[in-house]
Amino acid sequence: MAIDKVTSAAIADDAVTDAKLSFNSNQFRNIIINGDMSVAQRGASATGKTSNGYYTVDRFQAVITSQGTWTHTQSTDVPTGQGFAKSLKIDCTTADASPAASDKLQLRQKIEGQNLQYLKKGTSSAESTTLSFWVRSNKTGTYICELFDTDNSRHINKSYTINSADTWEKKEITFAGDTSGTLTNDNGNSIECTWWLGAGSDFTSGTLQTSWGSSTNANRAVGQVNLADSTSNEWYITGVQLEAGEVASDFEFLPVDVNLRRCRRYYYKYDNYVISAQARGSTNFVCGSNSISHGGIFRANPTTTESNITYNRAQNLGVSSKSTEFVSYRIRSNGTDGAECSATFDLEFDAEL
């Protein structure tokens, strides 16, 4: 008998499960934050980079140990028809064709342990994870992706190949679950998801660690090409997703406000913030204090950086208190009585892992 409409009677309660669907229906299944590269609070471009840092796209950290000079850009070059508007571009501006043994070049995202407990790492029920992403480079060949367990100094490394120069390609890599080494259930760094882009012999002289094992540097980047060997080299990535299971689902696009709030847990930038109050005749009298909330909760008490400070009848901008929910600033009078005093400044809150 044909069914002309879907009803609870037509479909048994247990007839539809995640295992029978072609996608993972869980919201926030993507462990990676800002995988579509849409948020770049620090700016769209950063040049002359030779050391570790978060330079453009939020949550993605460059790791550079004496291997070339680089420009990082939030690019609009994206795979056609996939829904992405931004990518992260890494461009070599000073080459290093012969890296020293300890040199390395990586892109990575650090992940809080409390966001990973459902993977059941360190138990007999440990979940496999699948990493998927779109990548493009003029430099073809073998590249390495790594999951590194910082709590237990364990890692697993898999290779992928860029087959065609200057062509967007989608890669899917499945990592087995790890039955050893439980992850700490806190706000600290537990897993680093890393894309190797170059490595010296300290990291390439062994056998690639394709199953979970104790950390051995020589086994981390075996076979990795050297993206730093020419100033013609560039590398793009977008659509990064890490999820539980052995199959890559379609990329989970989040609303821009949700994605921005998730990024601001780790870093928040505010331009031209103003604190104002009534001045006092006594020099250095505290004449104003404002608490700044970024609409969420920082991962930890943030490091604060203030710049481009302009005073009006005031002096000595400083932090009076801070927590994971707010930072309070105060200004002091310069001795002018009765008039408004103020400070205008740019500020950064940094709670990165």
pLDDT number for residue 190: 98
Of 8 and 273, which is predicted with more confidence? Answer: 273
Share above pLDDT 90 across residues of the chain, in percent, rounded to a whole number: 80
pLDDT number for residue 295: 67
Tell me how crowded residue 19 is: count the other CB atoms within 10 A of its CB: 6
pLDDT number for residue 27: 84
State the pTM of this model.
0.91
Confidence of residue 21 (pLDDT cuts 50, 70, 90): very low
Residue 106 clears pLDDT 90, i.e. is over it: yes
Residue 9 clears pLDDT 70, i.e. is over it: no
- What sign has the CA pseudo-torsion 218, 221, 222, 224? negative
Q: State CA 86 to chain mean position distance.
A: 15
- H/E run at residue 259: helix 256-264
Give the tens place of pLDDT for each residue, 282-309. Answer: 788 787 778 887 767 999 999 999 999 9
Give the tens place of pLDDT for each residue, 232-266. Answer: 999 999 999 999 999 999 999 999 999 999 999 99
Confidence of residue 12 (pLDDT cuts 50, 70, 90): low
pLDDT number for residue 26: 73
pLDDT number for residue 10: 45
Average pLDDT value for residue range 196-212: 98
Residue 95 clears pLDDT 80, i.e. is over it: yes
pLDDT number for residue 13: 52
Confidence of residue 16 (pLDDT cuts 50, 70, 90): low
Tell me how crowded residue 250 is: count the other CB atoms within 10 A of its CB: 13
pLDDT number for residue 17: 52
Largest CA distance in the chain: 90
pLDDT number for residue 3: 44
Average pLDDT value for residue range 52-76: 98
Instruction: Report, in angstroms and rounded to the nearest whole number, the Rg of the chain calculated over CA atoms.
Output: 24
Give the tens place of pLDDT for each residue, 154-203. Answer: 999 999 999 999 999 999 999 999 999 999 999 999 999 999 999 999 99
pLDDT number for residue 19: 43
Average pLDDT value for residue range 202-223: 98
Give the chain's domains with CATH numbers.
25-263 (2.60.120.260), 265-350 (2.60.40)
Instruction: Report the candidate in 238, 226, 235 with the shortest Cα–Cα distance to residue 91.
Output: 235
Mean model confidence pLDDT for the chain:
92
